[in-house]
């Protein structure tokens, strides 16, 4: 029983998606058509990107970067701005989850003596920055990769939607942090939390090559099956332990939602109701649905019922703001903060909700004007 509770606490979205997929299987009995539900291209490319990023982390690249970035910062205010900017920029390439897993522990260590106000503002700002920065690129977060693949988008049309969102997100994130005035006191010396991984230039080059190789599949320069086979072979030959560091729970969550959505699309009454609900309201509906089931499942579920990818892309990225579960990355930073010495979880939740819902309202209003 304790193992089940621990699993549900660690993987709530996976558990819920599995139950929903199982329930839908009673409504549409399993058949060979289930295989047609799966977007194998998205799953394959996502595996390649996750493996490459896990390898870069194992090679010590991110540990080296955070040490370099934090050296000689001087004041609390500068550190907050620097780490928020780092989360914003890095999330575009290594995903919002990995950016927060990399920078939040460093923030907690360096701001240990600065007080809870500064620490909470910093972590909340980093979380918002990671969620909005990752919106820019197809590989910044899982729902972007899925939608980019699902609708066969080109980079130009993709950036025409995500570029304005990312720019507005930067203004809100850094403007809000400056107005909040986290303090300009000298930064007290502190050790970096967590294991400092030794940097290996050779392994960094290897995994950077895998990352770039994977991007060729994202950009459709190479067939995704060729890239998947190449990445798997290279890992098997030179970096077998990385197989264990891939987030298979996320891949399985995708599979469950593909099954759920595929089955719902074969029930005329349900399919018709969702399609009519979305018609002309893709941005708002997807952002609101994200508040309840998070933005990745929202994209997977709603894409089957609309051809208006602009509203869905904008809505699910904007929808990463708001509740703690609107983006799984937000839960990651909250858990990291809650485990830190002297953590004030209630205060964190209040500050997080204030900024997130305020920015959500602003981004939704802007989105309505930009993508109507």
Looking up tokens 């930064």 gives 187
* Helix 328-338 vs helix 96-110: crossing angle, to nearest 10: 20
DSSP bridge partners of 186 = 75
pTM > 0.85? no
Torsion, CA 263, CA 309, CA 50, CA 39, rounded to 10: 30
Q: How many CB atoms lie within 10 A of CB 75?
A: 15
Contact indicator for 88, 133 with CB cutoff of 8 Å: yes
Q: What share of the chain is helix, strand, coil (3-state, %, to 5)?
A: 75, 0, 25
Give the separation between CA 9 and CA 24, rounded to whole angstroms: 23
Position 5 in a domain: no
| pLDDT tens per residue across span 304-360 | 888 889 999 999 999 999 988 888 788 888 888 888 888 888 899 999 999 999 999
Position 286 in a domain: yes
Position 252 in a domain: yes
Position 1 in a domain: no
Q: How many domains would you assign to the chain? A: 1
Residue 359, domain extent: 10-370
| pLDDT tens per residue across span 54-107 | 898 889 887 787 777 666 666 778 888 889 999 999 999 888 888 888 888 888
Sequence-ordered list of residues with C-beta below 8 angstroms from that of 133, at least 6 positions apart, any chain: 87, 88, 89, 90, 91, 92, 96, 99, 140, 166, 169, 170
Position 31 in a domain: yes
Position 203 in a domain: yes
Position 287 in a domain: yes
Phi, psi of 186 (to 5 degrees): -60, 145
| pLDDT tens per residue across span 245-265 | 888 887 888 888 888 878 887
| pLDDT tens per residue across span 208-226 | 999 899 989 888 889 999 9
* Helix 282-293 vs helix 295-302: crossing angle, to nearest 10: 130
Give the separation between CA 191 and CA 333, rounded to whole angstroms: 19
Give the separation between CA 91 and CA 137, rounded to whole angstroms: 9
């Amino acid at each position: 029983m304790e193992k089940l509770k621990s699993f549900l606490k660690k993987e709530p979205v996976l558990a819920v998606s599995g139950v929903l997929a199982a329930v839908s299987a009673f409504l549409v009995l399993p058949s060979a058509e289930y295989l047609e539900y799966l977007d194998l291209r998205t799953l394959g490319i996502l595996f390649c990107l996750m493996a490459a990023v896990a390898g870069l982390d194992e090679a010590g690249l991110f540990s080296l970067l955070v040490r370099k970035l934090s050296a000689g910062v001087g004041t609390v205010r500068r550190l907050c701005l620097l780490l928020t900017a780092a989360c914003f920029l890095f999330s575009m390439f290594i995903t919002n989850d990995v950016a927060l897993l990399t920078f939040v522990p460093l923030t907690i260590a360096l701001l240990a003596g600065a007080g809870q106000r500064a620490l909470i503002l910093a972590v909340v700002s980093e979380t918002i920055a990671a969620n909005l920065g990752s919106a820019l690129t197809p590989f910044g977060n899982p729902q972007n990769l899925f939608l980019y693949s699902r609708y066969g988008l080109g980079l130009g049309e993709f950036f025409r939607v995500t570029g304005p969102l990312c720019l507005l997100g930067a203004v809100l994130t850094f403007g809000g942090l400056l107005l909040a005035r986290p303090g300009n006191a000298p930064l007290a010396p502190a050790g970096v939390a967590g294991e400092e991984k030794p940097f290996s230039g050779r392994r960094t080059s290897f995994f950077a090559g895998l990352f770039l190789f994977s991007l060729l599949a994202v950009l459709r320069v190479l067939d995704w099956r060729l890239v998947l086979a190449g990445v798997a072979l290279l890992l098997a030959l030179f970096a077998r332990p990385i197989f264990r560091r891939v987030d298979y729970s996320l891949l399985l969550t995708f599979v469950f939602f593909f099954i759920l959505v595929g089955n719902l699309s074969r029930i005329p009454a349900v399919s018709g109701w969702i399609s009519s609900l979305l018609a002309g309201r893709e941005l708002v509906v997807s952002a609101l649905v994200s508040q309840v089931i998070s933005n990745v499942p929202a994209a997977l579920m709603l894409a089957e019922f609309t051809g208006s990818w602009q509203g869905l892309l904008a809505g699910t990225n904007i929808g990463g703001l708001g509740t703690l579960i609107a983006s799984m990355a937000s839960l990651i930073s909250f858990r990291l903060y809650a485990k830190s010495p002297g953590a004030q979880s209630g205060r964190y939740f209040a500050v997080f909700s204030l900024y997130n819902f305020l920015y959500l309202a602003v981004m939704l209003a802007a989105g309505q004007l930009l993508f109507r």
